[in-house]
Amino acid sequence: MVPHLTTALTGPLLDLEQRILDAMPRIEHWLRTQWLTHETPFYASVDLRNAGFKLAPVDTNLFPGGFNNLNPDFLPLCVQAAMAAVEKICPEAQRLLLIPENHTRNSFYLQNVAALLNILRQAGLDVRVGSISPEITEPTRLALPQGGELLLEPVQRKGNRLVLEGFESCAVLLNNDLSGGIPEILQNLEQTVTPPLHAGWAMRRKSNHFAAYTRVAREFAELIDIDPWLVDPLHASCGMIDFQARVGEDCLAGQVSDLLSQIGAKYREYGVEQEPFVIVKADAGTYGMGIMTVKSPDDVRGLNRKQRNKMSVVKEGLQVQEVFIQEGVYTFENMHEAVAEPVIYMMDHYVVGGFYRVHTGRGIDENLNAPGMHFVPLAFDTPCSLPDCAGKPDAAPNRFYAYGVIARLALLAASIELEETAPDVA
Amino acid sequence: MVPHLTTALTGPLLDLEQRILDAMPRIEHWLRTQWLTHETPFYASVDLRNAGFKLAPVDTNLFPGGFNNLNPDFLPLCVQAAMAAVEKICPEAQRLLLIPENHTRNSFYLQNVAALLNILRQAGLDVRVGSISPEITEPTRLALPQGGELLLEPVQRKGNRLVLEGFESCAVLLNNDLSGGIPEILQNLEQTVTPPLHAGWAMRRKSNHFAAYTRVAREFAELIDIDPWLVDPLHASCGMIDFQARVGEDCLAGQVSDLLSQIGAKYREYGVEQEPFVIVKADAGTYGMGIMTVKSPDDVRGLNRKQRNKMSVVKEGLQVQEVFIQEGVYTFENMHEAVAEPVIYMMDHYVVGGFYRVHTGRGIDENLNAPGMHFVPLAFDTPCSLPDCAGKPDAAPNRFYAYGVIARLALLAASIELEETAPDVA
């Protein structure tokens, strides 16, 4: 189960949501058995799109950066789940070294680190933040916008261990997605590093994740007797694309064309009248750069210089070489007349909260993970604030349950993806 | 960590509480390592007494009956902890058979069953309530005072399995403390029965629990460098007491005398000016029957008929034969000018909530678990309702943390007690 949350949607439950709710014991049982054989990521966030007829993940982040956006009411849930997560990675650990992203001037991100730190400390860990940024050469106190400060200390390498001055830890927790590659200082550590290095974007590929997701979705769809497409965005990929040199355009246009006609066929099957679209992303990218919305194969041919620049540079200047093409899912949800996308947070295999990503300037067919978006935290469902709520045997789980289920399917896919892409230990 | 709760106490943290808070990472680490080698009870509630200088458990219930008294805000925490608990007893289970107490006319108790059922269902289990009461001979719907109803079905035994009509489960969850003995229908089942039968009062003894607790408290006291007495009530026991026949009075008076002088010595050491007292209880009793407050060995000699009757009958008419004598802990807490005793609820090894047991007609040296008492649910701490709360790295854990720690020491003691008293499988 997941917390009772409110969503941007009101009105009766949609068919798909209702079907997921009805199958709750079967779903929870199936998920429980999955976690017997698959290792849960330490934490994750999943971006969902709810098109009404279809509810699907569009991105799974293994280094979530928005813990500050969670409703503070969820803090005890986060703490409890963090205790479970810590017991798995390092049950005998008392100290944990947290390694954040290097962007120390992004105060939103610093608040995320502070929120995560708070959760881990409340879980009873002695945690310190070790920066691998070249700018942090001595202990540095950074003021937080809402009061308090964050202490970043320079990480030191001692043999095959990372330490801070006077601080040795059994495990290293990464909140750094390694988009710029795996720094030498993190390689071949004897400490437990979680998530593992191959979960970072230096090695991770969206295509692997969604390939695993497709298999998970198929099994899930069979379980509750639905068409897997209702929870799974179609996808394809192209290797060796160089937008600047116009290499690989044919592959891309071909895949786009194929996907669009598959989506079109599905839309006709379900009587959906909107125009099919796909999202083209860097297969190893993140941060909303290198993403375009495409409604025709022609859209990816003859890109102008500005478009090509946009597509060929992602975070920390990595060149795009592999491209992931994903079925676009229209969002059915909006908030204050702006498009809203739910983001679900998990620690260990527990859903611990979420928030809406809202962007007033964006359309229902665009990516919302972009600079300038607003966040709206999800709140507990009000019916549950009545004193007799816990006592009612027939209290209706609300629509958010379906979001928590789909997010956990993506979590399971991430787990399988990490197993399958783990480098040989030999 | 435990939820942020408010307590009846305001004012600065007391020395002992502060010391426990300061040692948080060390305590959590130690508890984590304990749970590597000891199996957590499925659930438990612990009655605490806070005397200011001393904070100690006075009773540990392995079949908690007050889930309806928990703050509904804690429901997601309960559900998450229930998921963890279920994964341990029967990870592959989808169905669970819940066996409640037989007192189907106690509407408070029925609300507890409904609340527990709700938690388990939200955790994704298919749960039904099977009654072993001779009065339940067909499916019976009982109306709940706050709306809704509870369906009780007669349990059937098929070979070595308990089933309901059309319902087979992998595990049986007991919410029946077996005070009246272990019914034949529950014996030699091949299903997992949790808590195990020897956790029921038919076999359980308070003296075993507190003997284990004393060892746990000693280890804990060493960890945080305090006198173990500050968290451990002194205790003793007498076997073969028959109040009606006045057999065993000498043993009892002797133990009372010894305990009172030990407590007196401790009071002098700590400058406590109150009068020492002890509580005399049935070693296998519960439900606030068979309990007396004693301030002198003379109090247990020459009892009148009424007192003897009270002490010799406990729940379901069991004769008292073994008696447990426990150091009385004055309660420092009160609420609306009435005496208050915190009760902490746990599922698996997580603290999931609690409430105050308040009794206006009772003194600070009396047992509060008696008919007619009032309950006041503990609420989340208000400072944590501010949106920036989760972001503050220095958010102060509040005094409730200490309660959660002491309750978990009692939980650990219960775990060790159950290991040590488990019947030979051979």
Interval A176-203: pLDDT, tens: 999 888 999 999 999 999 999 999 998 9
Least confident of A48-52, A315-319, A342-346: A315-319
- pLDDT on residue B382: 32
Least confident of A1-10, A140-149, B232-241, B341-350: A1-10
- Min Cα–Cα distance to chain A from B346, Å: 12
Residue B340 C-beta-side C-alpha neighbours within 13 Å: 18
Least confident of A22-36, A360-374, B41-55, B187-201: A360-374
- pLDDT on residue B202: 87
Q: Which string of b and e fits B185-201 if b means at least 16 CB within 10 Å?
A: ebeebebebbbbbebbb
* Count of pairs with CB atoms under 8 A, one residue in A, one in B: 201
- pLDDT on residue B364: 66
- Min Cα–Cα distance to chain B from A118, Å: 5
- pLDDT on residue A359: 66
Residues sharing a CB contact under 8 Å with residue B17, sequence separation 6 or more, in sequence order: B55, B399, B401, B402
- pLDDT on residue B245: 77
d(CA A267, CA A53): 10
Owner of token pair 């939820």: B3
DSSP designation for A171 = E
- Residues of chain B with pLDDT > 70, as a percent, come to 82
Band (pLDDT 50/70/90 cuts) for residue B172 is very high
d(CA B262, CA B282): 22
- pLDDT on residue B76: 81
Q: Is the CB of residue B180 less than 8 Å from the CB of residue B316? A: yes
DSSP designation for B313 = B
Instruction: Beginning with the edge strand found earlier in the chain, give each strand of the sheet holding A167-168 in spatial order.
Output: A156-158, A161-164, A167-168
B393/A76 Cβ within 8 A: no
Looking only at the bridges linking them, the beta strands covering B43-50 and B55-61 are antiparallel
Q: Is the CB of residue A60 less than 8 Å from the CB of residue A44? A: yes
A1 to chain B, any CB pair closer than 8 A? The answer is yes
d(CA A71, CA A377): 6
d(CA A390, CA B119): 8
Per-residue pLDDT at A107 exceeds 70? yes
B75/A391 Cβ within 8 A: no
pLDDT of B294-311, one tens digit each?
999 988 887 787 777 777
DSSP designation for B301 = S
Per-residue pLDDT at A375 exceeds 80? no
Chain B residue closest to A30 (CA)?
B92
A31/B70 Cβ within 8 A: no
- pLDDT on residue B307: 78
d(CA B140, CA B100): 14
Mean pLDDT along residues A121-133:
93
- Tell whether the torsion through CA atoms of A35, A347, B35 and B195 is positive or negative: negative
A377 to chain B, any CB pair closer than 8 A? The answer is yes
pLDDT of B372-400, one tens digit each?
555 555 543 333 323 333 333 333 345 67
Owner of token pair 């438990």: B44
- pLDDT on residue A390: 37
Structure tokens at B377: 């649910």
Using an 8 Å CB-CB cutoff, list chain B residues near A92: 29, 32-33, 36
Q: E strand or H helix at B61, and its extent?
A: strand B55-61
- pLDDT on residue B426: 45
B67/A94 Cβ within 8 A: no
- Of the partner residues A33, A117, A387, the one whose CB lies closest to the CB of residue B72: A387
The A residues from 235 to 264 touching B (CB cutoff 8 Å) are none
Using an 8 Å CB-CB cutoff, list chain B residues near A122: 1, 395, 397
For an interface test with A, the pick among B31, B80, B129 (most A C-beta atoms closer than 10 Å) comes out as B80
Per-residue pLDDT at A213 exceeds 90? yes
Mean pLDDT along residues A31-52:
93
Looking only at the bridges linking them, the beta strands covering A149-154 and A126-131 are parallel
Mean pLDDT along residues A142-167:
94
B125/A28 Cβ within 8 A: yes
- Of the partner residues A111, A126, A386, the one whose CB lies closest to the CB of residue B391: A111
Whether the ω angle into residue B72 lies within 30 degrees of 0, i.e. cis, is no
Mean pLDDT along residues A342-367:
79
- A388 or B173: whose pLDDT is higher? B173
* Residue A12 CA, distance from chain mean position: 28
Per-residue pLDDT at A97 exceeds 90? yes
Per-residue pLDDT at A425 exceeds 90? no
Using an 8 Å CB-CB cutoff, list chain A residues near B20: none
Mean pLDDT along residues A3-22:
65
- Of the partner residues A3, A68, A390, the one whose CB lies closest to the CB of residue B391: A68
Least confident of A62-76, A137-151, A359-373, B82-96: A359-373
B392-395 — which CB contacts under 8 Å span 24+ positions? B392/A114, B392/A118, B392/A144, B392/A146, B392/A147, B392/A148, B393/A114, B393/A117, B393/A118, B393/A121, B393/A144, B393/A148, B393/A149, B393/A150, B394/A148, B395/A118, B395/A122
A400 to chain B, any CB pair closer than 8 A? The answer is no
Q: Which of A364-378, B1-15, B201-215 is predicted most confidently?
A: B201-215
Band (pLDDT 50/70/90 cuts) for residue A240 is confident
Using an 8 Å CB-CB cutoff, list chain A residues near B377: 387
pLDDT of B144-164, one tens digit each?
988 889 999 999 999 999 999
Question: DSSP 3-state assignment of A18?
Answer: helix
B26/A389 Cβ within 8 A: no
Q: What is the DSSP string of B89-129?
A: H-TT--EEEEEE-S-TT-HHHHHHHHHHHHHHHHTT-EEEE
Q: How large is the ipTM?
A: 0.77
Mean pLDDT along residues A262-285:
91
For an interface test with A, the pick among B30, B96, B97, B122 (most A C-beta atoms closer than 10 Å) comes out as B122
- Min Cα–Cα distance to chain A from B366, Å: 29
